[in-house]
Structure 1
Amino acid sequence: MELHEVIRRRRMVRAFDPRPVPAAVLDRILLAGLRAPSAGNTQGWELLLLEGPEQTGRYWDVCLPPQRREAFPWPGLLHVPVLVIPLADPAAYLRRYAEPDKARSRLGESADRWPVPYWLVDTSFLAMSILLAAVDEGLGALFFGLFEREGAVMREFGVPAGLHPIGTIAIGFPAPHGPSRSLQRRRRPLDEVVHRGRW
């Protein structure tokens, strides 16, 4: 598939067929994520991969307990066979930017020295690469936030302290579902978004 077609086809899928994603396909998707750019080639990210009903079920038990599921507007999401949690590692950036070739920047001294936290930027690049690779493989994907469940999920799966999840990516074969209300919002046209030469 051509890149522009992949970008046009990318949608947030909220219902999935429960059949598993073949291991080779999943590995290609994850490897595509690892090709994302990162400041100083730090690659300060980790991926928590949850596959199959036992692992994804543990996730849903923490994030969406059974008593809340009846009112959940996207029940088909609970059938997703793969969940990926991208985690940013700020300490990796501090170590990398304390190395001799980056030390002059003084960014290795403290996370507060970073006007933009590149560990979040780079891990977001990784997440978008995964979303696009899933589409290229003929699958559906959804990125969604953990919000107030972040700590509980990290504890449930033994994620080391200091890593910060940016959200969760659901990956699988799409199943029919109704459109999101967000689709009622129009895409902003190019001339409204791009400010050429000045505001």
Structure 2
Amino acid sequence: MRGMEFAEAVRRRRMVRNYREEPVPPDVIDRVLEHALHAPSAGFSQGWAFLRLDTTDDVARFWRACTPPGMGADQWSAGLRRAPVVLVPMSCKRAYLDRYAEPDKGWTDRDESRWPVPYWDVDTGMAALLMLLTAVDEGLGACFFGIPPQRLDAFRSEFGVPGDHTPIGAITIGYRAQDRRSPSLRRGRRSLTEVVHHGHWHPPARE
């Protein structure tokens, strides 16, 4: 399925929460990560890093570190945990502050109020989206989800992640198995007329 039209990859992209117990070729994960490097970044700061967990032991370590007590036995989690690969995109604010303190930018005060939003997180999120789309293009399923805040210290300790790198989430990757339709999808996708405002903000019409 690799090499589908871009529009088709976008249309097919969804969060997959159930996987077959089938390994993913390492070269496929190489491509997923290589494409992430083409995400835009402010000042070409590229303040991101990606933790690659693609062995049975490493994936098990991830779930042990990141699962709150009393969780992990539900059906949703069981399907997600079968994924043979977990990638963790991480942002580094320091890299952006360092970059913008250079002579061509001149923000030597390193004042974070200069940033309208935390671009280190935004840019890493765009890299994550490229990873999700590449997975679709490779005939795989993927799911982006958050690491519980109370488990971040355990995650850092387990994998030696430095304190200046923040995981913006985690991505499971594998071959999709049949799963139940997510209750969230019943909300339906919002239409263009609901979200696009031409020239002026128009409040939604009341029912």
* Structure 1 partner of 2:154: 152
Q: Structure 1 residues 156, 100: CA separation in 2 closer, same or farther (over 3 Å shift)?
A: same
> RMSD of the alignment, in Å?
1.5
* Pair 107,87 (structure 1): closer, same or farther in 2 beyond 3 Å: farther
User: Where do 5+ consecutive residues of structure 1 fail to align?
Assistant: none
Change (3 A) 1:29 1:178: same
Does 2:55 match 1:52? yes
Deviations 1:102-142 (A, max 9, x none): 11xx3761334312110001000000000000000000000
Q: Is the 8 A contact 2:18 2:76 kept in 1?
A: no
Preserved CA contact (<8 Å) 1:94 1:108: no
Matched-pair contact (CA < 8 Å) for 2:132–2:142: yes
Q: CA deviation at 1:72?
A: 4.8
- Tell me, yes or no, if structure 1 residue 97 matches structure 2 residue 103: no
| Match 1:174 to one of 167, 173, 176 | 176
Q: 8 Å contact 2:90–2:168 — kept in the other structure?
A: yes
Where 2:163 maps in the other structure, the secondary structure is coil
For the 8 Å contact 1:93–1:108, the answer to whether it is kept is no
Partner of 1:88: 91
Ranges in structure 2 where 5+ consecutive residues have no aligned partner: 202-207
Q: TM-score scaled to structure 2, two decimals?
A: 0.90
Select between 71-80 and 38-47 the one with higher mean Cα deviation: 71-80
Distance in 2 (alpha carbons) for counterparts of 1:63 and 1:93: 27
Per the alignment, in what secondary structure is the counterpart of residue 69 of structure 1? coil
Give the aligned partner of residue 135 of structure 1: 136
Q: Distance in 2 between matches of 1:167 and 1:107?
A: 30
State how far apart, in whole Å, the 1-side matches of 2:109 and 2:43 are.
Answer: 12
When the two structures are superposed, what TM-score results if normalisation uses the length of structure 1?
Answer: 0.94
Moved more, 83-92 or 19-28: 19-28
Residues 183-194 of structure 1 mapped to structure 2, 5 A cutoff: 183-194=185-196
CA distance in 1: counterparts of 2:93 and 2:70, whole angstroms: 36
**What is the distance in 2 between the residues matched to 1:32 and 1:198?**
36
Equivalent position of 1:64 in the other structure: 67
% same residue? 50
**C-alpha displacement at 1:70, in angstroms?**
2.4
Separation (CA, whole Å) in 2 of partners of 1:54 and 1:110: 42
